[in-house]
């Protein structure tokens, strides 16, 4: 397949999932989620980054998905200045892990440090990052203002890319594209969506139409820094139909570069936690079809460990070298 010869970058996996290996417990249910450990156990955060790098990840995402001035103020009693400093120090943990990995390995390519920029709904602690219902009552300007302080802190600490992720609604993606174009004209970024099924965003908008809209608007705005659009924190079975709707009818030169880092396939509920591990299809089995549909970045999200990233990397390498 011609598309398999195009470069594919392997991302890391579920940060909170792999972090649990080092902190001895799962972190689901904490209002700060894994972001609490930036303050309480930064060494575990550092080790988690190293796990993914050693598994072959070419990108590591900072542990800032759930980090916010509001969250750190409410749950760690930190001032605004202290919260911003904690976000910056969290980025530095990723840098430290990358430096150590480069010193101890023979890889030539320098892994990217990507700032995890979770959605506005993540700090509300009401599950609305999986519904996008705040699009009905929160203005685009409010969302942009909320995102800006964390983005500024991450950029000041030094990141290669912004990973704007788990976005549940078209409105927030649109607001972020406009802000990135106007305020951060030299910063590369991706936008990945939360989807509720094989056709729609969490909020209900059509995925393929939204991706096309955002991609075309970026071109109209003259923004060449949007490197990919796609999905994360979704069931892997949704991905192929979602991607097929975007790219299947496009010629190779017209295809939109896609990004995917899904969950393991397990399903979460507050009452029972994660269920269905025995029914999961290993993510690496999906890799050929996703690449054939235009995926240029592939990794994992919730319930994916470093060992899963290692297998994804092996599958990608096999396709790139023609051994699969």
- Give the pLDDT confidence of 105-157 residue by residue, as tens digits: 988 899 999 999 999 998 887 888 899 999 999 999 999 999 999 999 999 99
Where does residue 195 fall: left (phi above 0), alpha (psi -120 to 50 degrees), or beta otherwise? Answer: beta
Q: Is 179:165 a contact under the CB 8 Å cutoff? A: no
| pLDDT-derived band at 229, boundaries 50, 70, 90 | very high
pLDDT given for residue 272 in this prediction: 64
The predicted structure's pLDDT at residue 134: 96
Tens digit of each residue's pLDDT (9 = 90 or more) over 170-210? 999 999 999 999 999 999 999 999 999 999 999 999 999 99
Whether 40 maps to a domain, the answer reads yes
Total residues found in the chain within this entry: 324
- Least confident stretch, 30-34, 168-172, 297-301: 30-34
Residue 4 domain-assigned? Answer: no
> Percentage of the chain with pLDDT > 90?
83
Is 314 domain-assigned? yes
309 within domain boundaries? yes
CA 93 to chain centre: 18
Pairing relationship of beta strands 267-269 and 273-275 according to DSSP bridges: antiparallel
Task: Give whole-number Cα distances, 236 to 174, 253, 303, in Å.
Answer: 25, 26, 12
Q: Does the residue 1 lie in any domain?
A: no
* 56: confidence class by pLDDT, cuts 50, 70, 90: very high
Looking at the predicted structure, is the pLDDT value of residue 167 above 90?
A: yes
Q: Is 154 annotated as a binding residue?
A: no
For the chain, give the longest Cα–Cα distance.
Answer: 54
Confidence of residue 324 (pLDDT cuts 50, 70, 90): low
Residue 293: is its pLDDT beyond 80?
A: yes
The residue-averaged pLDDT of 72-83 equals: 96
Residue 3 domain flag? no
Give the C-alpha separation, 4 to 166, whole Å: 26
pLDDT at residue number 117: 98
Any residues with CB less than 8 A from the CB of 108 and at least 6 apart, and which? none
Q: What is the pLDDT of residue 269?
A: 64
Three-state DSSP class for 155?
helix
Give the strand pairing for 189-193 and 161-167: parallel
Tally of domains in the chain: 1
Which structural domain, as residue segments, surrounds residue 119? 9-321
Phi-psi region of 40 (alpha: psi -120 to 50; beta: other; left: phi over 0): alpha
61: phi > 0 → left, psi -120 to 50 → alpha, else beta; which? beta
Q: What is the CATH number for 138? A: 3.20.20.330
DSSP-assigned letters across all residues of 4-29: GGS--EE----HHHHHHHHHSS--TT
pLDDT(323) > 80: no
In a domain, 104, yes or no: yes
Q: In what order do the strands lie in the sheet with 59-61?
A: 9-10, 295-298, 258-261, 226-232, 189-193, 161-167, 112-117, 59-61
- Is residue 99 situated within a structural domain? yes
Bridge partners of 161, per DSSP, are 114
Burial call 145-184: b when 16+ CB within 10 Å, e when fewer: ebbebbbebbbebebebbbbbbbbbbbbbbbbbbbbbeeb
Higher local confidence (pLDDT), 320 or 152: 152
């Amino acid at each position: 397949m011609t598309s398999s010869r195009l470069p594919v970058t392997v991302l890391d996996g579920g940060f909170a999932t792999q972090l649990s290996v080092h902190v001895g417990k799962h972190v689901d249910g904490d209002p700060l989620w894994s972001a609490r450990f930036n303050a309480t156990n930064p060494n575990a955060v550092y080790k988690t980054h190293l796990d993914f790098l050693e598994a072959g990840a070419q990108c590591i995402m900072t542990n800032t998905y759930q980090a916010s001035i509001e969250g750190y103020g409410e749950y760690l009693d930190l001032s605004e200045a202290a919260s911003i400093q904690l976000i910056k120090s969290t980025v530095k943990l990723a840098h430290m892990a990358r430096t150590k990995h480069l010193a101890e390995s023979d890889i030539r390519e320098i892994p990217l440090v990507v700032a995890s920029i979770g959605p506005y709904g993540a700090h509300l602690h009401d599950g609305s990052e999986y519904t996008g219902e705040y699009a009905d009552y929160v203005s685009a300007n409010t969302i942009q203002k909320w995102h800006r302080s964390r983005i500024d802190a991450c950029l000041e600490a030094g990141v290669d890319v912004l990973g704007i992720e788990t976005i549940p609604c078209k409105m927030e993606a649109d607001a972020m594209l406009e802000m990135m174009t106007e305020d951060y004209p030299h910063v590369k970024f991706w936008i990945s969506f939360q989807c509720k099924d094989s056709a729609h965003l969490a909020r209900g908008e059509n995925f393929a139409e939204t991706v096309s809209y955002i991609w075309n608007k970026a071109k109209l705005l003259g923004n060449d820094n949007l490197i990919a659009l796609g999905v994360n924190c979704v069931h892997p079975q949704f991905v192929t139909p979602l991607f097929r709707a975007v790219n299947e009818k496009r010629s190779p030169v017209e295809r939109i570069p896609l990004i995917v880092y899904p969950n393991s396939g397990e399903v979460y509920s507050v009452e029972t936690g994660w269920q269905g591990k025995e029914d999961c299809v290993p993510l690496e089995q999906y890799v050929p079809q996703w690449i054939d549909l235009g995926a240029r970045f592939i990794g994992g999200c919730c319930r994916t460990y470093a060992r899963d990233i290692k297998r994804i990397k092996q599958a990608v390498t096999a396709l790139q070298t023609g051994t699969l």
